[in-house]
Amino acid sequence: MALGKLLQGFGSGAQDAPGAAMSGKQAANINSADRMRILDEFEQSGIGWVWATDADANLIYLSQGAIEALDIDPSNLFGQPIASLFESDPHNPDVRADRPLKFQLRAHSKINDIVVRFVPGAKLSGAHRRWWQMTGYPLLDSEGNFLGYRGSAKDITVAYERKLEDSRIAEYDSLTGLANRFRMERKLDSTLAAYKAAKRACALLMLDLDRFKHVNDTLGHQAGDDLLRQVAQRLREVIGDRGEIGRLGGDEFQIILPDLDDRGKLGELADKIIQVVSQPYPIEDKRAVIGTSVGVAIAPYDGLEREELVRASDLALYAAKNGGRGAFRFYSADLCDEAKEREELEKDLRKALEDDALELHYQPVVRTKDNMVVGCEALMRWNDEQRGFVSPGTFISVAEESDLILRLGEWALKRACLDAKEWPKSVRVAVNVSAVQFADNGFLDAVTQALDESGLEPDRLELELTESVFMGDSESTDSTFKLLKGLGVRIALDDFGTGYSSLSYLRSAPFDKIKVDKSFVDSCTQKDQNSAKIITAIIGLSEALGMETTVEGVEAFDQFDLVVSKGAKLIQGWIYARAMPQATLLERMASGDMKIKPDGPDRHRPERRSVFRRVGVIHDDHRYEGVMRDLSKTGARIEGLLGVPKGTGLVLDLGGGQLAVSVVTRSSDASIAVEFEAPLVSDGAGGLCTRHRVSPYALAAAGMPLTTLPPGNYPLSQTVGEPTTKPQFMQVAVAR
């Protein structure tokens, strides 16, 4: 008799079911006792085991050989839900992620050779890990009622663990131990397939390492491999068991984070990744300093399929790198193909350099005790005919990926020295030097040539460096420092304290000045921040080492008073002056008045940003169009609506599924101020966004009238149609 028929009959009460491979006469001679004997012989042969459940999927029978193999008391097995004893392997590529054992048992589906793992549980402590291959058939009575399962099983532990090891080798990166590209693609495919039906979210982070190529070139490939292993370990420490981390190849990494669409939490996580990865790395007896940028995309908002989500995260990564690196960026629909844009930008930048279309502007550094200008920092400016003003953070990062950074750096040195020669001798000029430029063999010659051609005294040139210059060969770095000091130029450490600055830098390098980064100044007057203490510590450290300190980014008097009280003697910021072209600076100097009095707002308000942005304003079942003039994390100022009383509840449609529930706190003519129910979060690009997004289709399905929704294609059957109330406010036109 076929095993399937035997198992169907087992325990079913069918005494004389005919066998598939016997004649009717032979089958008539097989009674219940004979069937049980054959079943016993089958079990004892070791070919396989038999199992059965009742209608509630509780285990009611298991072959004695199986019980012995599990080394467990049968009383801890029988009567237990079979789903609590065995679980399907989520890593088995042969099993659909959305069809685990529990699902099939609940659906009373046929179970075909599914691989399961025995789960001991707290009460079943005597067992060790075993892998079984199980087959099961739902047993139904004549009326179609489910009676339970009848099935077979066999132990495949040795073969399956060998398969797992082979799979691990095939699916994991041999250098870092992280998942490889193949595994990440399969993981993302299965996750998105399961989550699409369940309407769950999944975030994808794409990152690569900034300046990794330089480490490889200067310290060697073995050092590069060591660095990648350390990066992988740091990513594991940050992510933990929250998601899957993969190395796609080279210095590219990817992170899958299931059930996470909170952009506030994702931004915090991306920030932490950037900070941790940017710590210095010990490589043999040297130190390497790299950075990273992160692009974030979220399903289902930014894509439902793997290709869509990967492309979205790639575009977000390019945007983050374009914004100056060491940053994260969320994908948004208005991002263009950044790769193509960078190619165009590099071509135009090359032409601008050839056509002498770049400028240097100078921001004064002022002595606080008498408001005298003692120096100016040279800041590169590019005003393109087509693009308009291009941020240095954008074009400098493009230049660093090509030979242009060396040409830009050399041009800036020459131009700054020539301009400074026209200033009073009491005023120095500071020029930023990139790590790539500092490590170039021709850097010292470029400095010497700039000084010789301009005739500028060497001690009036100040070279501003960041800690990234220490990522290369330490002997070569030390030699360059000595030669620079031999020339007589001054050296400043810029952005001190923003990364993981080491005091060993200050001990080993002959710095004349430390610059306190603007990020500390921005938050120095806020409660529950340590920025003021950090500023105090940096100023004290500088004085103890006989160095000067410049505090950057001071914009308001509350900041000014605080940093001066902490000992700041030199300040560079808008409270004194913004960067200005050489002609404007010379006009001020020609008057003979080298003093600049501080002038600015009483209090710094970093949150509020002036904008001009058209937004939707939803009230009841009406949608109005307004213009946002100011935006902060907690509220906004909107123009374009008349007659909106204070206390009115509104929903602002910021686009892309971003809905901000708010209440009117102030109303005057066609201008209203609103406070958000939930604060906005950083979008990684200097802007703000909502933590969560809502699909317009979900709103339509919930019954929100079509007229209140943003423009788009919506299923009309899911909408209410015409508004049920009259509009309460008057919409007026707003000019820029």
pTM of the model: 0.58
pLDDT beyond 80 at 20:
no
659-668 long-range contacts, CB within 8 A, separation 24+: 659/618, 659/690, 659/693, 659/694, 660/690, 662/635, 662/636, 665/635
Share of the chain above pLDDT 70, in %: 84
What's the pLDDT band for 496 if we cut at 50, 70, 90? confident
**Kind and range of the H or E element at 409?**
helix 404-420
Which of 39-48, 139-148, 513-522 bottoms out in mean pLDDT, i.e. has the lowest? Answer: 39-48
pLDDT beyond 60 at 335:
yes
553 in Cβ contact with 573 (< 8 Å): yes
Per residue in 356-381, pLDDT (tens digit) is: 899 999 999 999 999 999 999 999 99
**Residue range 574-586: mean pLDDT, rounded:** 93
**Residue range 63-83: mean pLDDT, rounded:** 86
**Residue range 662-676: mean pLDDT, rounded:** 92
Per residue in 406-421, pLDDT (tens digit) is: 999 999 999 999 999 9
**Residue (of 564, 572, 546, 557) closest to 605 by Cα position:** 557
Q: What is the pLDDT of residue 122?
A: 35
551 in Cβ contact with 568 (< 8 Å): yes
Quote the tokens at residue 352: 């601008």
498 in Cβ contact with 519 (< 8 Å): yes
Report which DSSP code applies to 592.
Answer: T
Per residue in 679-707, pLDDT (tens digit) is: 888 887 667 888 888 754 465 555 555 44
Per residue in 220-267, pLDDT (tens digit) is: 889 899 999 999 999 999 999 999 999 999 999 999 999 999 999 999
What's the pLDDT band for 203 if we cut at 50, 70, 90? very high
Burial of residue 166 (CB within 10 Å: 0-12, 13-18, 19+) is: exposed
What's the pLDDT band for 272 if we cut at 50, 70, 90? very high
CA 151-156-161 angle, 5° bins = 140
Q: Kindly list the structural domains of the chain, giving each domain's residue range(s) and its CATH number in brackets, ordered by start.
A: 46-162 (3.30.450.20), 172-335 (3.30.70.270), 359-590 (3.20.20.450), 609-731 (2.40.10)
pLDDT beyond 60 at 9:
no
Quote the tokens at residue 666: 């102030």
Report which DSSP code applies to 30.
Answer: -
Q: What is the pLDDT of residue 95?
A: 53
Half-sphere exposure of 109 (CA within 13 A, CB side): 13
Q: What is the pLDDT of residue 8?
A: 45
**Residue (of 647, 659, 649) closest to 616 by Cα position:** 659
**Kind and range of the H or E element at 52?**
strand 49-53
* Residue 691 to residue 407: CA distance in whole angstroms: 42
Average pLDDT, the chain: 83
**Residue range 624-646: mean pLDDT, rounded:** 90
Per residue in 275-314, pLDDT (tens digit) is: 899 888 888 777 788 889 999 999 888 888 999 999 999 9
Per residue in 541-553, pLDDT (tens digit) is: 888 888 999 999 9
Per residue in 154-177, pLDDT (tens digit) is: 988 888 888 877 777 778 898 999
pLDDT beyond 90 at 19:
no
pLDDT beyond 50 at 98:
no
